[in-house]
Chains A and B, each alone.
Chain A
Amino acid sequence: MLLLIQYTLIFASVLVLVALGGCFSEHSGVINLGLEGIMVIGALGGAMAMKYISPDVPAIVMILAVICCSVLLGMLYASLLAVACINCKADQTIVGTALNILATAAATVIVKAVNTAENPDNVSSTVQYVSAKRAFLVNIGGFEFNWFMLVAVLALIAAAVTLYRTRFGLRLMACGEHPQAADSVGINVYKMRWAGVLISGMLGGLGGIVYITAGVSEWKFENGVAGFGFLALAVMIFGQWKPGRIALAALLFGLFRALSNVYAGFSFLTALNIPSSIYNMMPYIISLVVLAFTSKKSRAPKAEGIPYDKGQR
């Protein structure tokens, strides 16, 4: 049971972080379908940091370094989306999809290059970080507390405050609802959208590193992040683009994702004799069902997905 709670919390942290990223981007008016790719690149940055930093450094240094690497790479990667969609008015769906595919391909090429450079016989795309990962964990009576859970809570509070209590957040949301009106009162829509996409890159990258450290100590980058970025988008839609509801939705989805990891530990679940594939499918099926019921009265930002053109009033 404790294990289930632990996994639920860590997967919910991932979903909260990434969904908040999507939330910022969409509130500024850009649909960020590239979150999945941003997660992969963020995860790659964090994994590389864990690989190269000696595990003997103090835990706090390790944590900060890994977070910095993930966040920076995530932001850098998100700027590819920003350039294409904000400045060049490209189709946000195509570019987002391209970024997802590009991230997995690029991460695989990079990791394989690093692996073969170290050892010519090693052509796998797996990075190991067993010892480095210990820095993130604190064992409290059998419950493995992960510092990333705290980070997720902080991010959640910060996001809620930023969006609803600061001038920046309110302006950002204005750009996603009615960019022309925002522009007419002197808000630079392009800058605001860049800010939204960069924040989503930051949170997405962070979510990526949390995801690959959740429960495992090595990651095969050929697999990307297995649709988790899209699950986060589903969480965001289910959460109606509001941080508080996103957190609740993330807990629900996290629970189902966690079940696929730990169902073997419950005697009544193993007694049902359901193949593991079913548990693997669960989060996706649940999200489809949930989306089917919640999308009808969706409160999506009105101007999302439409490139802002100054000349168009």
Chain B
Amino acid sequence: MRTKKEPFLKRNWVQSLLASLFCVVLGLLIGYIVLLFINPAGAWDAITTVMKNFFTYPNPTVANKYFGSTLVKTAPLLMCALSIQFAYKVGLFNIGAAGQYVAGAGACLYMALALNLPWWLCLLGSMAAGALLGAISGLLKSYCNVNEVISGIMLNWIGLYTVNMVLTNVKESTSPYTYQVASFNASALLPSLGLGKLFSNNQYVTIAVPLAVIMAVVIKIVLDKSMFGYELKATGYNKSAAKYCGMKEKRNIILTLVISGALAGMGASLLYLTGYEQWQCTQSSVPAMGFNGIAATFLGGLDPIGTVVASYFIQHITSGGAYVDKTMYSSQISDLICALIIYLCGFVLFLKYFLNSRLAKREEKAAVRAAALAAETQPEAPTEVQPEAPAEVQPEAPAETPPDTPADEDSHGKGGEA
């Protein structure tokens, strides 16, 4: 811990929050500009619709119900975000979360519809399926030096085609969609425990939502407070040093991707076992959930609790996109905003650096001014900065980001094995 109390703006979480807000505002602004280009007439309406989401319904009961639906889709997004975050803290960029999510969806739907298993077995099955894909990435990474991003992308597509093939066995004969879980095997539905009643009887609100939040807390505790988490993070910072200290660095990499995969796979069952959505067996692109998870995790400042908020926000605008006036715009405008936010998140470190150097400069000026004041005998000393700064005056705080910023170390230590 730092011994001295730091100024408000220098605290790490304040900076993360400011950076995230900056990304959101700029992302929305650019989204608005794009809308203006497409059709200036309805642009303002459209961007407020995206931000309002369920508030567009004037009736509070209906709005409450759709708030519930947004939460239903937040749960899987949060799980994907946690999956990416867990791996990122260990220095791995698990873009395969999208495919692990797909594998989880395939496993839970197949177990629910073809094998008629109860929900908790389906949930475990989806975690196992996600973990399996994660393990493949992990093995390739630790034993064959294959970049986890590239193997992740390949596995995304392999997973998608496999799941399409497997779920074709349990699809409705007249449509490309799988059977309804609710009518086919009600025991596979996640229990609601009366949570749906809180949201105007929205039957899709189940224990999935609190479960996802609990997982966020668990991840936070594991990463920050446990020896296991410490070992994993140490492996992420410096693989060779971790090995030198007697940690099994290969095992740690595989284990990280297995856990990460299990989280993403579980996310899928938190959505598909509510019956909210059916799988489309002719799907030709990997679901966006895993990729939006990237946005949520970076927007959440790489902190599980921040990610809960960020996931909700991302899902809020994604759902909001469905309400824009389709005669002028497309609902993908919210995907565009999400993508912009991820892009802008790349600049977060730069922003923090910029903010810190500005703060340091300001402190330096203040110190110079104080010294000048002290040196002057007259009380009405000019406030101008003296051209020759006294050499002994030192700014009190270092100009760099505090070394305990995890993201800082990651970005410098990553890469080099593509």
Contacts and interface: CB of A to CB of B under 8 A. Distances in A.
A288 B347 contact: no
Interface string B376-418: 0000000000000000000000000000000000111011111
B151 to A, nearest CB: 6
A105 B339 contact: yes
A293 interface: yes
A12 B146 CA distance: 23
Given A105-B335, A288-B155, A291-B140, A97 B414 contact: no
Interface string A81-110: 000110011111111011101101110110
B154 A101 contact: no
A105 B350 CA distance: 25
Contacts of B330: 108-109, 112-113, 116, 123, 125
B291 interface: yes
A94 B342 contact: yes
Interface stretch (A163-171, A201-209, A222-230): A222-230
A227 B157 contact: yes
A98 B345 contact: yes
Contact of A226 (B285, B336, B350, B417): B285
A287 B154 contact: yes
Interface string B92-112: 010100000000000000000
B328 A116 contact: yes
A287 B328 CA distance: 42
Contacts of B153: 227, 230
Contact of A97 (B95, B162, B410): B95
A71 interface: no
B149 interface: yes
A154 to B, nearest CB: 27
A226 B288 CA distance: 13
Contacts of B93: 93-94, 97
A223 B160 CA distance: 13
A84 B343 contact: yes
Nearest to A94: B346
B188 interface: no
Contacts of A223: 284-285
A76 B142 CA distance: 36
Contacts of B294: 94, 97-98, 101
A281 B146 contact: no
B418 A227 contact: no
A277 B165 CA distance: 7
A234 B150 contact: yes
B326 interface: yes
B366 interface: no
B418 A233 contact: yes
Contacts of A291: 140, 144, 146, 150-151, 154
A109 B165 CA distance: 30
Given A233-B418, A292-B140, A116 B335 contact: no
Contacts, number: 182
Nearest to A91: B411
Contacts of B156: 227
B417 A102 contact: no
A287 B152 CA distance: 12
B358 to A, nearest CB: 16
B45 to A, nearest CB: 16
Contact of B415 (A275, A277, A278, A305): A305
Most interface-central of A92, A93, A113, A300 (chain B CB within 10 A): A93
Contacts of B410: 91
Contacts of B158: 281, 284-285, 288
Nearest to B330: A112
Given A105-B332, A112-B330, A120-B327, A94 B415 contact: no
B55 interface: no
A85 B328 CA distance: 35
Contacts of A95: 343, 346
Interface string B158-186: 10011011000000000000000000000
B149 A88 contact: no
B338 A300 contact: no
Contact of A230 (B150, B284, B336): B150
Interface in B284-323: 284-285, 288, 291, 294, 298
B145 A296 contact: yes
Nearest to A231: B154
A81 to B, nearest CB: 9
A192 to B, nearest CB: 18
Interface string B49-92: 00000000000000000000000000000000000000000000
A-B pairs, top 4 by smallest CB distance, nearest first, are A305-B415, A102-B339, A90-B346, A98-B343
Given A33-B149, A97-B149, 18 more contacts: A31-B418, A84-B343, A90-B349, A94-B294, A106-B34, A125-B330, A226-B284, A227-B156, A234-B150, A277-B164, A277-B165, A281-B162, A288-B154, A300-B418, A304-B415, A304-B418, A305-B416, A307-B412
